[in-house]
Homo-oligomer: A and B are copies of this chain.
């Protein structure tokens, strides 16, 4: 099956994306760009940010270079050492190995799988894991393997999370996406997957605690509802924010309509956050994210 022509051209063979963070001090850009010149590289995209909060420096570069990956990393190594950098070099546009966790809601899963297939988002999704069987046909249509394992008590939850870690190892997973996976993640798994597990949840002004927030939002007459995509930490729904969106609603909306509207916001917000992560545009600065859009 073909989709239409928006598919991006395959990346040139030697187009690298470099992300760096280190303590801020003069000379970093000069040192990095010197190493790139040494590898005959040409910088095609560059963004940087100095955090006044943490004193750290962040940079994202795209570089075209005839050098192979190993050769390129070798050229950068002395600079990375000298500045005690966290650095990562990768191929621009390489699909990110991504595990999707789901429950029964279809909207986020369908959005990600449809776009992966249409070539609009650089993901390689080898597996969808769910605690329900509901989405089997949908996932299958998109050509992705699907497994469901009920989570009903402490033991089945432990087993489910063990399967997650096994799948992460087996498929060399780089990102875990909670696409409306409606189980609380254990602190151990949060810790294990820190900085590479993204969740989506609804957002309201003001916030609402407890069950059925759409019903509460309706009762309170909020005028905006939205969604927040964030890294998962053991502090529930409070990890570093990656992306947020809202949409306007009015008094005539039923709670069921608010749910439908909220789902659209969740789909597009999660998709955006995952796209940026896959393109290595999301860096962590303490509890904040730096987004090099």
Residues of chain A whose beta carbon lies under 8 Å from any beta carbon of chain B? 1-6, 8-9, 24-30, 33-34, 36-37, 40-50, 52-53, 104-107, 110, 114, 118, 120, 134, 136-138, 141, 203-207, 218-224, 226, 228, 238, 240-246, 250-252, 254, 256-257, 259-260, 263-264, 268, 285, 287-291, 293
Name the one of B40, B203, B228, B293 contacting A250, with C-beta atoms under 8 angstroms: B293
Alpha-carbon separation in the docked complex, A102 to B98 (Å): 32
Q: Is the Cβ of A30 less than 8 Å from the Cβ of B26?
A: no
Asked, given contacts A5-B259, A207-B206, A291-B250, whether A118 binds B106 with beta carbons under 8 Å apart, the answer is yes
Q: Is the Cβ of A138 less than 8 Å from the Cβ of B37?
A: no
Q: Is the Cβ of A256 less than 8 Å from the Cβ of B9?
A: yes
Q: Is the Cβ of B289 less than 8 Å from the Cβ of A251?
A: yes
Q: Is the Cβ of B25 less than 8 Å from the Cβ of A30?
A: no
Question: In the assembled complex, which residues on chain B have CB atoms less than 8 Å from the CB atom of A107?
Answer: 4, 118
Question: In the assembled complex, which residues on chain B have CB atoms less than 8 Å from the CB atom of A256?
Answer: 6, 8-9
What are some 27 contacts across the A-B interface (CB < 8 A)? Answer: A1-B137, A1-B138, A2-B104, A4-B104, A5-B259, A6-B259, A26-B37, A26-B40, A26-B41, A27-B37, A29-B33, A29-B43, A33-B33, A34-B34, A44-B50, A120-B260, A205-B228, A205-B246, A207-B207, A221-B240, A221-B241, A221-B288, A222-B241, A224-B246, A251-B289, A251-B291, A264-B268
Q: Is the Cβ of B219 less than 8 Å from the Cβ of A287?
A: yes
Asked, given contacts A107-B4, A293-B250, whether A43 binds B36 with beta carbons under 8 Å apart, the answer is no
The listed residue with most B CB atoms (<10 A of its CB), out of A134, A204, A252, is A252
Question: In the assembled complex, which residues on chain B have CB atoms less than 8 Å from the CB atom of A203?
Answer: 205-206
Question: In the assembled complex, which residues on chain B have CB atoms less than 8 Å from the CB atom of A219?
Answer: 53, 287-288
Asked, given contacts A104-B2, A106-B4, whether A47 binds B47 with beta carbons under 8 Å apart, the answer is yes
Question: In the assembled complex, which residues on chain B have CB atoms less than 8 Å from the CB atom of A24?
Answer: 42
Alpha-carbon separation in the docked complex, A46 to B46 (Å): 8
The listed residue with most B CB atoms (<10 A of its CB), out of A4, A5, A107, A256, is A4
Name the one of B26, B36, B268 contacting A42, with C-beta atoms under 8 angstroms: B26
Alpha-carbon separation in the docked complex, A73 to B18 (Å): 30
Q: Is the Cβ of B221 less than 8 Å from the Cβ of A224?
A: no
Shortest distance in angstroms between A228's beta carbon and chain B's nearest beta carbon?
6
A120-B260, A251-B288 known; 7 new pairs, CB 8 Å cut-off, are A1-B138, A30-B37, A46-B48, A49-B252, A203-B206, A224-B244, A264-B268
Alpha-carbon separation in the docked complex, A226 to B203 (Å): 13
Chain B: which residue is nearest A118 at the CB level?
B106
Q: Is the Cβ of B243 less than 8 Å from the Cβ of A223?
A: yes
